[in-house]
Amino acid sequence: MESKILIVDDEPLLVKGLKYSLEQDHYVTDAAYDGKEAIEKFEKGNYDLIILDLMLPEIDGLEVCQRIRERSDVPIIMLTAKGEDMNKILGLEYGADDYMTKPFNILELKARIKAILRRTISKDIKLGEQVIYVDDFMINTLGRKVAVSGKEINLTAKEFDLLILLATNPGKVFSREELLEVIWSYEYFGDLRTVDVHVRRLREKIEKENSDNNNYEYILTKWGVGYYFRNRD
């Protein structure tokens, strides 16, 4: 699934604007309008990032941040007014990952969200499982080997990196921009065809010969969004 973001702010117009803008970039969004609701939604949901206002009704943003940090390392971007002690907010006592001062530029916020999620994705690759099995498909992440029905498949370095990223995040849809930034860094920045070409070549190597555009088993397409690896049963 796409990256899911929880927006926590007591200003309905700000929340509405953020939801609209982020959803245009294919993020899934949820909202809470006070600290109590934020904690309740965090406990029930599974979020990839939280945008958290400092000044909230019921429970303030710092306490919300502390409670979340007791249970999760989900990235948190704090929204603050000018003059707040950001060294304290970003320190070990509270554990926010970044902050934006109101009023802020939505394009800058999006850039920071992408950067944080990119770091998180990169970390997930390094901490992934050593061996992944899906039916008769096997990936040895440390040995960098892939086999289908016991037959080893030769992949290029980039093809393997692309496969590992998708396979260690089953069901999560990655846009072409995200894949380009994570796998290629900025080596081919802006050339989204690079991603499509590598996905096509990877499919040619790992999918069954009778697979077609509508019947892939492993690397699937979310039309208009990007690519994802099938969920493991």
pLDDT digits (tens, 9 = 90+) for 43-54: 988 898 999 998
d(CA 222, CA 199): 13
pLDDT of residue 114: 84
Residues 10 and 93 in one domain: yes
Is omega for the bond preceding 57 within 30 degrees of 0, making it cis?
Answer: no
Task: Name the least confident of 6-15, 85-94, 117-126, 167-176.
Answer: 85-94
Residues 157 and 207 in one domain: yes
Residues 154 and 95 in one domain: no
The CATH number that applies at residue 203 is 1.10.10.10
Residue 217 is given by DSSP the state: S
The CATH number that applies at residue 37 is 3.40.50.2300
Residues 26 and 62 in one domain: yes
Residues 50 and 63 in one domain: yes
Q: CB-based contacts of 101: which residues, under 8 Å, 6+ apart? A: 80, 81, 82
Q: How many domains does the chain contain in total?
A: 2
pLDDT of residue 41: 94
* C-alpha separations of 216 from 132, 146, 202, 204, 220 in Å: 18, 17, 12, 10, 6
Selected residue with higher pLDDT from 157 and 223? 223
d(CA 64, CA 52): 8
Domain boundary among 100, 124, 148: 124
Residues 92, 94, 99, 101: what is their CA dihedral angle, to the nearest 10 degrees?
A: -130
pLDDT digits (tens, 9 = 90+) for 159-186: 888 898 898 888 889 988 888 878 776 5
Strand 131-134 vs strand 137-140: parallel, antiparallel, or unpaired? antiparallel
d(CA 173, CA 26): 10
Domain boundary among 124, 151, 184: 124
Residues 120 and 143 in one domain: no
Residues 164 and 119 in one domain: no
Residue 74's domain spans which residues? 4-124
Residues 101 and 144 in one domain: no
Residues 103 and 146 in one domain: no
Nearest to residue 22, comparing CAs of 116, 107, 126?
A: 107
Is the pLDDT score of 188 beyond 50? Answer: no
Residues 153 and 46 in one domain: no
Residues 87 and 11 in one domain: yes
Nearest to residue 153, comparing CAs of 136, 168, 169?
A: 136
Domain boundary among 68, 102, 124: 124
